[in-house]
Chains A and B, each alone.
Chain A
Amino acid sequence: MANTGTEHTVKAFDTDINELRGMVAEIGGRSEQAIAKAMRALEKHDLKLAEEVVAEDKLIDELEKRIDELTFQTIALRAPMADDLRELIATFKISGVVERIGDYAKNIAKRVPVIASTHKLGPASLLPSMSNIASELVRDALEAFARRDADLALEVSERDQIVDDFYTSIFRSVITYMIENPKDIGEAAHLLFIAKNLERIGDHATNVAEMVYFAAKGEPMPERDRGENPTDLLEEPTTGR
C-alpha cells in the first residue's frame, strides 16, 4: 500500500514529513549541482569553481545532519507505521547516500588542479557525457522520491547500466593510454579516479532509487540484469591453468 500523501489526523506529523521531504529535495539539488560544477571546473580548468565545490560540500554535510536529526526525532515522537515508517527509514538512508554523492563531486573537484596543469582530458574525453548521465540519474532518483514514483525509481536503476558502460569504455582507453604514454600515468590515474567517482555516483543514485521503491511498494526492488560489471575489470584474467 503506497503513500498517497493524504493528511494525518495529527497535522504536526505532516509538517515534520514535509520539512524532511523539502530538505531531501534540497540536499539532492545541491549534490547534483556539485557534480555539474565539478565537471565544469574540470573541463574549463577553473580552479576557483573547483574550490567552490569543495567549500559548498560543507552545506551538504550540514543538511545530512539536519535530516538525520529530524528523522530520528520524528520516529521517536510520532511512532510511524507502514508507509510512513518506510518513508522515514528511506529518508534517513537517502540523506546518507546523497551526502556521499556530494563527497564524490568534491573529490572530482579536488583533482582539477592536477589535471588542469596539462589542460587535457585526452583518453577520458567521454567523462562529460558520463557525468551528464550520472547527474540525470541523481536528479531522477530524487524526483522519484518527491513523487513517490516506484516506476521512475526502477527506470533509474536500469539506466545505471549506461554509466557502468561508460566507465568500462573509459577504463579501457585510459589503460591503453597509460601503456602508450608512461610519463602521463599519474594524470591518467586521476582521470580514472574521476571516472570511478562518476560510476559510484550512478551506483548511489541506484541506491536512492531502491529506497524510493521500497518506501513506495513495501518490498525490495527486483534485481536488474547486469551487463558487464565494471569491477570485473579488476579481476585477474584466468589463464586456464
Chain B
Amino acid sequence: MTDLVDSASTSESSTMTESTVPAISAGDGPLKMTTRNVDVFYGEKQAINGVSIDVTMDNVTAFIGPSGCGKSTFLRCLNRMNDTIPIAKVTGDITLEGEDIYAPKMDVVQLRARVGMVFQKPNPFPKSIYDNIAYGPRIHGLATSKDELDNIVETSLQRAGLWGEVQDRLQDSGTALSGGQQQRLCIARAIAVDPEVILMDEPCSALDPIATAKIEELIHELRGKYAIVIVTHNMQQAARVSQRTAFFHLGTLVEYGVTSDIFTNPTQEKTRDYITGRYG
C-alpha cells in the first residue's frame, strides 16, 4: 500500500472514483443529519468525492483517515464552515432534520448554533469563564433574565464536567484554565446554545492522556443528548468513543460501519492497512 501516501499528497480529481459505499441505513436511532453525494472542491482541486453518510442521534460517529483524506473538510460541510473559504465549493445534499442546510433561506448563524463545533486547539474567548458560556445564549436571545443566564451557564458547565472545577472562579479568564479545562469550556460553550449536533475536530490532539480521558468520558455522557461527530487521528480514541466509524481516503468514503466491526474485521483492504499500521 505504499502508493497511498504518494497519491494522498496529490489528490487530483482524476484519481477519484465514485464512492460506492452505501450510506448507513436507518434503524440506528433517529436520523439527525444526512449527506448524499457530497463533493467539495477547493478551486479546481476536488477534496471530497461523492460522500453519503447518515448521522444518527444515538451514535457517536467517528471520521478517521490519514492526513489530507478530507475528513475535516467533510466535517466542516456539516455546519457550512467551508463557506468561510472563498474558493471552496460544496455540491450534493446535506440535511439537518430533513432541512437542506445549503438552501438559500438557511440562516448560517442559526445553523452553527444548531450544529456546534469544537476545534483541535481550545479557543476560549479572552473573556471570563462566565462570559465564554453566556456569549452565545446572549446573542441568540436564549435568556430573558440574569437568573436564566446563570442557569444556562451552570447547566452547560455541569454537562461539560467543568462546573466543580470552576464554580467559585467564574469571573477568572477562560484562557487561564489548563488546556483540558479550556477544551471542556469550549464544549460547554457549544452546549450553551442548545445545539442538536456537536462536531469535534480532533478535540484531544493538544491534550495529555488524563485530559483526553475526561473529554472521552464527556463524549460518552453527551451521547444521546446531542448527535456527535468526531474527527480523530487517534484510532484508539475512535474505537473507544464511537459506535459508528467512517474511514476516508483520498477524499472518498472507503468504509462506514459499526465501530467494533471496523476495528476487528474491516471489509476493505485500505481500511485494514490504515488501522493496522501497514499504511505507507
Interface residues, chain A, with chain B CB atoms under 8 Å away: 1, 6-10, 13, 79-86, 218-219
Complex CA distance for A39 and B98, rounded to whole angstroms: 73
Chain A residues positioned under 8 Å from B263 (CB to CB): 81-82, 85
B235 at the interface (CB under 8 A from A): yes
Complex CA distance for A82 and B264, rounded to whole angstroms: 4
B223 at the interface (CB under 8 A from A): no
Chain A residues positioned under 8 Å from B279 (CB to CB): 9
List 5 A–B pairs whose Cβ atoms lie within 8 Å, in order of A's numbering: A6-B278, A8-B276, A80-B276, A85-B264, A86-B265
Complex CA distance for A10 and B280, rounded to whole angstroms: 11
Complex CA distance for A23 and B266, rounded to whole angstroms: 28
Chain B residues positioned under 8 Å from A7 (CB to CB): 278
B15 at the interface (CB under 8 A from A): no
- Give, as a whole number of angstroms, the nearest-CB distance from A123 to chain B: 48
Could you tell me if B265 and A81 are in contact, using CB atoms closer than 8 angstroms?
no
Chain B residues positioned under 8 Å from A13 (CB to CB): 277
Interface residues, chain B, with chain A CB atoms under 8 Å away: 1, 235-236, 239, 263-269, 271-273, 275-280
Could you tell me if A83 and B280 are in contact, using CB atoms closer than 8 angstroms?
no
For the complex of A and B, the 9 pairs showing the least CB-CB separation, nearest first, are A218-B265, A1-B272, A81-B275, A8-B277, A84-B276, A81-B276, A82-B276, A6-B278, A1-B266
Chain B residues positioned under 8 Å from A84 (CB to CB): 276
Complex CA distance for A221 and B261, rounded to whole angstroms: 17
Could you tell me if A82 and B277 are in contact, using CB atoms closer than 8 angstroms?
no
Closest to A84 in B: B276
- Give, as a whole number of angstroms, the nearest-CB distance from A104 to chain B: 32
Could you tell me if A8 and B235 are in contact, using CB atoms closer than 8 angstroms?
no
Closest to B268 in A: A1
Could you tell me if A8 and B278 are in contact, using CB atoms closer than 8 angstroms?
yes
Question: 10 more A-B contacts (CB under 8 A) besides A82-B266, A218-B264?
Answer: A1-B266, A6-B1, A8-B276, A8-B277, A10-B277, A81-B235, A82-B264, A85-B263, A86-B264, A218-B265
Chain A residues positioned under 8 Å from B265 (CB to CB): 1, 82-83, 86, 218-219
